[in-house]
Amino acid sequence: MTSAPYAWIAAIVAALALLPLGTSSNTVLNFLSFAMIVTVAAQGWNILGGYGGQFSFGHAVFFGTGAYVMALAQVRFGLNPWLALPLAMAMGAAVGYAIGFLSFRARLRGSYFALVTLAFAEVFRISANAWGFTGGAAGVLVPLKLDAAQMQFADKRLFYWLALAFVAAALVLTAWIARSRFGAQLVAVRENEEAARALGVDALAIKLRAITLSGAVTAAAGCLYTQKFLYLDANLAYGPWISVEALLAPIIGGLGTVFGPLVGAVVLLGLGEVTKTVFANLMGGSVPGVDLVVFGALLIACVAYAPRGVLGLLQGWLASARKARA
Amino acid sequence: MSVLLSVKSVTKRFGGLTAVDDASFDVASGSITGLIGPNGAGKTTLFAIIAGFEPATSGAVAFEGRDVTALPAHRRAMEGIARTFQIVQPFAGLSVRENIAVGAFLRHADRKDALGRADEVGRKVGLGPMLDQSAGQLTVAGRKRLELARALATEPRLLLLDEVLAGLNPSEIRDMMPVVQAIRASGVTILIVEHVMQAVMSLCDSVNVLAQGRIIASGAPASVARDPKVIEAYLGQGAAARMQAQGDAQNVAADARRGAPDA
Amino acid sequence: MLKLDIFLSALANGLMTGAVYALVALGLTLVYGVLHIINFAHGATLTAAMFAVFVMHSVFKVDPYLAIFILTPLFFGLGYAVQRFVIGPASHGDDSNILLVTLGLSIIIENALLAGFRSDTRSIDVPYGFSVVEVGNLFLSTPKLVAFAASFLVALLLWLLLARTDTGKAIRAVAREKTGAALSGIDVDHIYAVTFGLGAACLAIAACLLMPTFLVNPRIGNAFVLVAFTIVVLGGMGSILGALVGGLIIGVVESLSGLYFGESLGQIGIFLIFILVLLFRPTGLFGAKA
């Protein structure tokens, strides 16, 4: 691929941008906006986990930091959300750097790294739940001010387009990483850290850069979440749900690919909605958790049968179809 | 000839075990220098210390006259020291070209330059037709070449080769030797750890023998091979004397066959 | 004097809870020691076992202590089957795959329980639930004392199993040298599954011991899983003695920090220990050198 990824990004983002023109259904728009938020969080995970091979089980720590900084900057300090956004992303980056500095210097990898990130997320969750400044267990409510200057929109389509813009930016960033020296060195560290060091790669610095970027991107998703729902508590912001979805989307879509997180998030959340609807009809009422059961099964199925995710399967089919035609 | 790499009194202890014991030797600029020794002599440890993968307990390593003892592995690569691994370590998920490009990225920040450089180096070591293959699909011989290509792509002045010939069959070894010689001809100094003896003898200008962590002999391959200390280190206590004796016995036998003149 | 009594009773409570933590950690450390993997579904499996005790009691009127003899073999079988037919085949022998597969399993178990039982917290009523034993000035909960003693008994049995039986020898052989064990005719896949089964069986026993004094909801496993990981990391991955001592330490730390800093911050203490141990002493207190 030469400049192809950027052309693909333009085409896909344009197609996604046209979607709301066909519908004014709130359900559809809410679903699409939420899928974009998860996509951004998953893109952040993918930089560290997909390209860098460092599987985090606690990306909620970045998502929640972004979400809380965004909310508290407005509520406690009266900052404009457009100004709070870069601040929240910077805080996400800082938390990423700090966790990376501690864990990578201690040479944690594999399961140990996964567990330590999970523990950090839990520490943040319990603290946010206990601390008065963050609103404690009651959470934080961002006052409703439907005004573009407050990053709140009366028209739900506008919010969707805003979230889509973040997805586009994350896609461009990922495509750039994939083709840069940094990306090549990051992938080298994922494949074989020792060999990478022998080739002059400063593995620690590369991993730190990856987790810092990852933290900033996932924090941006948290900011979007705050502006979308205008309410946060510790279990929403730092809860395991977002750690799981940020990890599942890239794995199901295609680990370490530009479009994997987007494809994965749409497939995942789409399947989740279908499952919930089917079960609600079957059981005559909504059944909590059924969508997550499907997510878990999908994760195992992907690991077992589709290690390169949905995109990998598609590529395989296309290649064999082409061969069949030739 | 100037000295490119200088190993000065390097000692490495693991707990009570002394793996490398006060080892000193030089590598002349432009040479192919060998580091040989029986299994467990400490070759790999010493090699790792030179490349910056293990810290030395004491002693120093100087490269181009500068002390690099404190530098981590990636900084030494930047300085111009590249290494290969005895157990090949390809980036299995990447293509051959991408593998080599990781090395090339060290001195070429631009993707196009790095990929171009990777192609060039790949062809030089005979991987031209395999550039688009996945590195995981290469044969053992192919992987050894890939190790070489990646290291070369960092544009080193000193190349440390850790048993690049081990595991290859005789015809593969014959194919590999000119590649190593061509690298030296292009101006890269080579330090080679090897136990394929014949290859070392024909490749190296000078050889250092390590036994039980100590350098026991240094010099031209032919003279080192005749050194009784070296023979003992490889074949065991008293081997040199036995071989000497065997030689004497053969002489006696030959004399006997010639027949006693005055019987 | 009253202060000392409160302290002592918190200490005793911590030790008793810690013993059950140790039992939970025992299964985790055993699986780690043999398969060299972290079973992320450990907490969810415990939740499932606790719900099983709840169902046994509320539907079939089986006393939790009696349920030990039904649920232990059942969970052994389940653990065996899951390792043999799901985790093993799905992960293709890759460590990060195993981590993801067990994460997938934990998501499935936890949410299937949520779908089945909803998020309500449940407990069971047993006549001895609130009975106490008087030791000096302290009143110790009888079921907790039973749990304390039973945990040690199980640890002892597990140790005997590993040290004295043929299966135990095979398990230790596989733990030390998988390839060598396979060459000498040991069915490694079978041993892996047996080990996994033993881990699940420990959880079934822990669940039966916990339920008389504890409550259950679909998310309860999360609270245990990091505690168990902390214990395992603290005690040294794969060490049975480490799991026991680590469990007691964590139980006491939780109980005392809960007493002095309040419930929620007490929990933070555990996570901080976990992070600190991982960062600064990843081999644990009893682990071999890395």
Q: Touching check for A184 and chain B: CB below 8 Å? A: yes
Mark whether B238 and B262 lie in a shared domain. Answer: yes
Residues listed for chain C: 290
Mark whether B184 and B249 lie in a shared domain. Answer: no
Query: What per-residue confidence (pLDDT) applies to B141?
Result: 87
Give chain C's contact residues with A (Cβ, < 8 Å): 37-38, 40, 86, 89-92, 95-97, 99-101, 103-108, 110-115, 118-119, 218, 222, 226, 229, 233, 264-265, 267-268, 271-272, 274-275, 278-280, 282
Query: What per-residue confidence (pLDDT) applies to B249?
Result: 56
CB contact under 8 A, C112 and A116: no
State percent of chain B over pLDDT 70: 88
CB contact under 8 A, A303 and C110: no
Per-residue tokens: B231: 């023979």
The alpha-carbon gap from A286 to the nearest alpha carbon of chain C, in Å, equals: 9
Please compute Rg for chain B using Cα positions. Answer: 21
Query: What per-residue confidence (pLDDT) applies to A87?
Result: 97
For chain A, give the mean pLDDT: 92
CB contact under 8 A, A57 and C103: yes
CB atoms within 10 A of CB C32: 26
For chain B, give the mean pLDDT: 86
| Calpha distance C176→B108 (Å, rounded) | 46
CB contact under 8 A, A181 and B74: no
CB contact under 8 A, A199 and B150: yes
CATH topology of domain A4-261: ABC transporter involved in vitamin B12 uptake, BtuC (1.10.3470)
Enumerate the H helices of chain A as residue ranges: 4-18, 26-46, 60-75, 81-105, 110-130, 156-179, 181-191, 193-198, 203-229, 234-237, 240-253, 260-283, 290-305, 309-325
The alpha-carbon gap from B83 to the nearest alpha carbon of chain A, in Å, equals: 6
| Calpha distance C67→C214 (Å, rounded) | 16
State percent of chain B over pLDDT 90: 52
Mark whether B206 and B247 lie in a shared domain. Answer: no
Query: What per-residue confidence (pLDDT) applies to B173?
Result: 86
The alpha-carbon gap from A117 to the nearest alpha carbon of chain C, in Å, equals: 9
Q: Touching check for A192 and chain B: CB below 8 Å? A: yes
Residue B134 sits in a domain whose CATH number is 3.40.50.300
Mark whether B82 and B166 lie in a shared domain. Answer: yes
The alpha-carbon gap from A183 to the nearest alpha carbon of chain B, in Å, equals: 10
Mark whether B179 and B101 lie in a shared domain. Answer: yes
Question: What are the tens digits of pLDDT across the range B87-114?
Answer: 888 898 899 999 999 999 999 999 999 9
Does the pLDDT of residue C217 top 50, yes or no? yes
Does the pLDDT of residue C287 top 60, yes or no? no
Query: What per-residue confidence (pLDDT) applies to B156?
Result: 95
Does the pLDDT of residue B134 top 50, yes or no? yes
DSSP 8-state class, residue A49 = I
Across B41-45, B156-160, B202-206, C16-20, the highest mean pLDDT is recorded for B156-160
Domain ranges, ordered by start, for chain A: 4-261
Confidence of residue B136 (pLDDT cuts 50, 70, 90): confident
Query: What per-residue confidence (pLDDT) applies to A115?
Result: 87
Residues in C closer than 8 angstroms to A49, CB to CB, are none
Confidence of residue C270 (pLDDT cuts 50, 70, 90): confident
Q: Touching check for A157 and chain B: CB below 8 Å? A: no
Residues in A closer than 8 angstroms to B77, CB to CB, are 197-200
- The three-state secondary structure class of A256 is coil
Query: What per-residue confidence (pLDDT) applies to A86?
Result: 97
Residues in C closer than 8 angstroms to A300, CB to CB, are 86, 90, 100-101, 104-105, 108
| Average pLDDT of span C175-193 | 87
Query: What per-residue confidence (pLDDT) applies to C283?
Result: 64
| Calpha distance B122→A138 (Å, rounded) | 62
Q: Residue A292 contacts by C-beta under 8 Å, 6 or more apart in sequence?
A: A244, A272, C107, C108, C110, C111, C114
DSSP 8-state class, residue B95 = B
Per-residue tokens: C135: 């030791």
Sheet holding B158-162, edge to edge: B81-83, B158-162, B189-193, B32-36, B206-211, B214-219
Interface test with A, best of B88, B94, B102 (most A CBs within 10 A): B102
More confident residue, C17 or A170: A170
Residues in C closer than 8 angstroms to A247, CB to CB, are 103
Mark whether B111 and B240 lie in a shared domain. Answer: no
Q: Please name the chains neighbouring B, where neighbouring means 3+ C-beta pairs under 8 angstroms.
A: A
| Calpha distance B120→A149 (Å, rounded) | 55
The alpha-carbon gap from A296 to the nearest alpha carbon of chain C, in Å, equals: 4
Q: Touching check for A154 and chain B: CB below 8 Å? A: no
Confidence of residue A38 (pLDDT cuts 50, 70, 90): very high
Question: What are the tens digits of pLDDT across the range C82-111?
Answer: 999 999 899 887 888 888 999 999 999 999
- The H-or-E segment that residue B200 falls in is helix B197-203
- The H-or-E segment that residue B218 falls in is strand B214-219
Interface test with A, best of C94, C103, C118 (most A CBs within 10 A): C103
CB contact under 8 A, A106 and C282: yes
A153: amino acid identity, one letter: F
Query: What per-residue confidence (pLDDT) applies to A206?
Result: 97
Which letter, b or e, does each residue of A145-157 get, where b requires 16 or more Cβ atoms within 10 Å of its Cβ? eeeeebbbbeebb
What one-character-per-residue DSSP string does chain C give?
-HHHHHHHHHHHHHHHHHHHHHHHHHHHHHHHHHH----TTHHHHHHHHHHHHHHHHHHH---HHHHHHHHHHHHHHHHHHHIIIIIHHHHTT-HHHHHHHHHHHHHHHHHHHHHHH-S--B----TTTT-EEEETTEEEEHHHHHHHHHHHHHHHHHHHHHHHSHHHHHHHHHHH-HHHHHHTT--HHHHHHHHHHHHHHHHHHHHHHHTTT--B-TTHHHHHHHHHHHHHHHH-TT-HHHHHHHHHHHHHHHHHHHHHH-HHHHHHHHHHHHHHHHHH-TTTTTPPP-
In chain B, the number of structural domains is 2
| Calpha distance A196→B77 (Å, rounded) | 10
Residues in A closer than 8 angstroms to B83, CB to CB, are 198
Query: What per-residue confidence (pLDDT) applies to C227?
Result: 84
| Average pLDDT of span A74-103 | 96
CB contact under 8 A, A292 and C111: yes
* Smallest CA–CA distance from C99 into chain A, residue: A111
CB contact under 8 A, A199 and B114: no
CB contact under 8 A, B111 and A194: no
| Calpha distance B252→B248 (Å, rounded) | 6
Mark whether B126 and B242 lie in a shared domain. Answer: no
Q: What pTM value is reported for the model?
A: 0.89
For residue B11, what are the β-bridge partners?
Answer: B58
Query: What per-residue confidence (pLDDT) applies to C284?
Result: 61
Query: What per-residue confidence (pLDDT) applies to C223?
Result: 76
Q: Which among B51, B77, B102 is the nearest to A184, CB-wise?
A: B102
Contact B77, A199 (CB under 8 A): yes
**Which CATH architecture describes the domain C2-280?**
Orthogonal Bundle (1.10)
Domain ranges, ordered by start, for chain C: 2-280
Mark whether B123 and B251 lie in a shared domain. Answer: no
Per-residue tokens: A156: 């739900």
Mark whether B48 and B173 lie in a shared domain. Answer: yes
More confident residue, C18 or C271: C18
Contact B41, B210 (CB under 8 A): yes
Query: What per-residue confidence (pLDDT) applies to B17?
Result: 87
> Containing domain of residue B245, as a range?
231-263
Q: Please name the chains neighbouring C, where neighbouring means 3+ C-beta pairs under 8 angstroms.
A: A
| Average pLDDT of span C28-51 | 90
For residue C139, what are the β-bridge partners?
Answer: C134
Q: Touching check for B226 and chain A: CB below 8 Å? A: no
Question: What are the tens digits of pLDDT across the range C120-164?
Answer: 888 888 888 788 888 877 888 888 899 999 999 999 999 999 889
Per-residue tokens: C148: 């304390």
Does the pLDDT of residue A286 top 80, yes or no? yes
- Tell which residue, B20, B25, B27, has the closest CA to residue B4: B27
| Calpha distance A321→B178 (Å, rounded) | 44
Query: What per-residue confidence (pLDDT) applies to B263?
Result: 34
Contact B53, A197 (CB under 8 A): yes
Q: Which among A118, A119, A296 is the nearest to C111, CB-wise?
A: A296
> E strands of B55-213, at which residues?
58-63, 66-67, 81-83, 158-162, 189-193, 206-211
